[in-house]
Amino acid sequence: MITITISDSLEARLKPLVARYNADTKADLTVAEWVDLHLHELAVQDDLAAELPNLQQQREKAWAEEVAGLRGRLIAELRAEASAPPAPEGGAP
């Protein structure tokens, strides 16, 4: 484990960033927690970036499957309407 000392002037500059982050994410991080989080994010950013193309490909495949399913349902509805017997003219007897 590493201990990092932050000067008072640096902490003062970080506090508005932490406050903005907390407001944006509805979090309640201290400066120390915020620094820890961002160091972890830096540590995993290359792994995350490497996985993004795979995630995008999975999302596009799922989207294409949903579109194909919707297309099939809409076509089936149109065909069902076309083969339904016509409604009697003039309303109910």
Q: Whole-model pTM above 0.85?
A: no
SS (H, E, C) 21-81: HHHHHCCCCCHHHHHHHHHHHHHHHHHHHHHHHHHHHHHHHHHHHHHHHHHHHHHHHHHHH
Question: Residues 6, 31: contact at Cβ < 8 Å?
Answer: yes
Q: What is the pLDDT of residues 34-87, one digit of tens each?
A: 999 999 999 999 999 999 999 999 999 999 999 999 999 999 999 998 887 877
In the block, tokens 């508005």 appear at 16
